[in-house]
Amino acid sequence: MSFVKKMKSNKLILVFTFVIGAMLLSACGGVMGASSWPGITATEETVYVAYATDVLAINAGNGTQVWRYPEKADGRRNFFAPPALNGEQLLVGDYTNVLSAISRQNGTERWAFDGAEGRFIGSPLVVDGMILAPSNDHHLYALNDLGQMQWKFEAGHGLWGSPAADGEVVYLPSMDHNLYALRMSNGQEIWRVDTGGSIVHSPELSDDGRIYVGTLANEVLALDTNGNIRWRIPTDNAVWTRPTLHDGTLYFGDLDGTIYAVTADSGSVVWRKNLGSGAVVGSAVVLDDQIIFGTENGQLYAFGPGGESRWNQPFNGKLYSSPVISGNRVIIGIVQGDNLVVALDSNGSELWRFTPAK
Amino acid sequence: MWDAFISLFINALLFIYQLVGNFGVAIILFTILIRLVTHPLTVKQMKGAAGMQELQKNKKWQDMQAKYKNDKEKLAQEQMKLYKELGINPLASCLPTLIQFPVIIGLYQAVIQALAASPIELLGLTRHVWPTILNVSTIIPLNSQFLWMDLGAPERLVLPFLPFGIPVLALVVMASTYVQSKLMQQPTMGAGGDQAAMMGKMMNLYMPFLMGYLALTLASGLALYFLVSNVVGILQYALMGKVNWGNLLPVRKPARAK
């Protein structure tokens, strides 16, 4: 090769390298296709899935798609927060800071709230006609069912977990380490407790007025409605899941892949086991007295209340989403796998699987 | 391998953040650290440029310019022979710049993952953090505010009397990249005939626009890195006496480096 040709080729390589570098960086800057995992909500008849550019309604009986929202996908608009049911409306928050109410019947938009300045990562909570939507812009927005803001509350950092409420008081978890208690009528702060670590998921609220939260500081705490910490127990790693309360026992997992059964009244560990299948990120669900956990390495486990193994099923992909119950079925969301949603019966046998059309 | 590289970046960045408590300051200190670590490359780049400059004083070089001024192909062949004979790599001054790209991409990923604005990023961050040096419960969530900027998002300065935000950082990055390239521009004797010199000029022309575009569209944490890196680069060259301050004056021809 002549020197001139070689120099030209070097010049091309140089320009090409810069262009590729710029493209790589620009690509990293856009909204990624999967910056979270499917958010799922279900009734006995329909499974609603928020994932990437779509919100999908799927027939819970046979796994066929009923509708898709929006009709034309917008690459900038990503949905990951589990949709919330509000009568005939389905509430879906997205990563362009918009909370939309769409018809559960056909997926048409009813209204949209665009007053937030941060992503909707956590699911909204609907209590007594009031919509409580946590945003990553540090605010909890209280809306009526027409999408009009009633009040907003500012926390110290992003809000990723859905709040819990008893009709009078809202218990709001925050990434700023605090659990806040707010008056539901006007958003006024009643108390706040520094839990020592970010709270990613929603708290569990019991009928007898206890609030249970897991934190990234490797702990699970129980508080009373006055904000007093009644007990706190250490875990092997960060707790991302909501503790699931069933018959006086809390079930939860940590990022080491250890699952725990703890008495709700005292925090004593009843049993614990490391599943050896990657992190437990999704909360447990209970079906037919079985406690069901999904793992990062794609295993779905069912245990009896005493910790005895009932069944487990492997899947191709990661089970980060919290499984949900639809009638007598367990519905799981899968990320980085062949299917997006799979339904199983209470024995772990597959009923149907769903992959969205491209 | 790449993952380990990113982990190293994230932990170094977060370790500094843990010490100073401000992510913007952490990026500035981390950039200075990166420039210190890559200082040998900067020196190599400078020596490569100086070698090219010396070459142009070489009698053989000057003779061949005159002899083959109408035969570019032959001239290029003879230049190549001389490069080999003197052990000069004409791209030696470009390579250190190219090596910066993995560093920039690594830093970008480290900044984005450290700010953890989505669940996947936060989950990834908890995997990357080395608990022996970092306390996850205290550093998460990171405070991404620095001056008027959210370091995880592209920067715009919003003024009350303007209906749009001004991309101050992108403009400053573009200007500082231009100033840096002008200050470090070496004089050429080949009257623009040398391909390497032409390539250098082309890069000096396009680089400010490329860096400005990246600063405009990517997280401002990265733009802050570009800016600090440019400023530190100018200081490094100035301390080594290799800056041509006269090049900034528009009417003067490029002054010869010391």
Q: Do B119 and A35 touch (CB under 8 A)?
A: yes
Tens of pLDDT along chain A (358 residues) come to: 444 455 455 555 555 555 555 555 544 443 334 678 999 999 999 999 999 999 999 999 999 999 999 988 888 899 999 999 999 999 999 999 999 999 999 999 999 999 999 999 999 999 999 999 999 999 999 999 999 999 999 999 999 999 999 999 999 999 999 999 999 999 999 999 999 999 999 999 999 999 999 999 999 999 999 999 999 999 999 999 999 999 999 999 999 999 999 999 999 999 999 999 999 999 999 999 999 999 999 999 999 999 999 999 999 999 999 999 999 999 999 999 999 999 999 999 999 999 998 7
Chain A: closest CA distance from residue B251 (Å): 29
Give A 40-69 residues with CB within 8 A of chain B: none
For the cut 80, the answer to whether the pLDDT of residue B235 exceeds it is: yes
pLDDT at B96: 64
Contacts of A121 in chain B (CB under 8 A): 118-119
Would you call B2 an interface residue with chain A, using a CB distance cutoff of 8 Å?
A: no
A2 min Cα distance to partner chain B (Å): 7
Q: Which of B94, B119, B222 sits opposite A14 (nearest CB)?
A: B94
Neighbours of B179 (CB within 10 A): 16
B203 touches chain A (CB under 8 A): yes
- Please tell me the predicted confidence (pLDDT) of residue B219: 84
CA–CA dist B56, B49 (Å, integer): 11
Calculate mean pLDDT across residues B124-136. Answer: 87
Which of B105, B140, B141 is facing A24, going by the closest CB pair?
A: B105
Section B14-37 average pLDDT: 91
Q: Give which of B217, B204, B214, B216 is closest to B177, Cα–Cα.
A: B204
Which chain B residues have a beta carbon less than 8 Å from that of A200?
A: 119, 122
Residues of B in contact with A198 (CB under 8 A): 137, 140-141
Helix or strand run (H / E) with residue B166: strand B165-166
A79 touches chain B (CB under 8 A): no
Q: Using CB atoms and an 8 Å cut-off, which of residues 113-142 of chain B contact chain A?
A: 117-123, 126, 136-137, 140-141
Report CB contact under 8 Å: A3, B94: no
Q: Which of A2, A4, A177, A236 to mutate to test the interface with B (most CBs of B within 10 A)?
A: A4
Q: Which residues of A touch B101 (CB under 8 A)?
A: 17, 21
pLDDT at B69: 78
The residues with which A325 forms a beta bridge, in sequence order, are: A330
For residue A26, the model assigns a pLDDT of: 47
Q: Taking phi first (over 0 means left), then psi (-120 to 50 degrees means alpha), and beta for anything else, what does residue A259 get?
A: beta
Contact A22 B214 (CB under 8 A): yes
- Chain A residues touching B2 at Cβ < 8 A: none
Confidence of residue B191 (pLDDT cuts 50, 70, 90): very low
**CA B2 to CA B62: how far, in whole Å?**
46
Contact B105 A22 (CB under 8 A): no
Model confidence, pTM:
0.81
Chain B residue at shortest CA distance from A200: B119
Which of A150-157's residues contact partners 24+ apart within 8 Å by CB, and which partners?
Answer: A151/A186, A151/A187, A152/A187, A153/A180, A153/A182, A153/A187, A153/A189, A155/A180, A157/A198, A157/B141
Of all residues in chain B, the one with the smallest CA distance to A39 is B119
pLDDT above 70 (res B130): yes
For residue B213, the chain A residues in CB contact (below 8 A) are: 22
**Which among B79, B141, B214 has CB closest to A175?**
B141
A245 touching B (Cβ < 8 Å): no
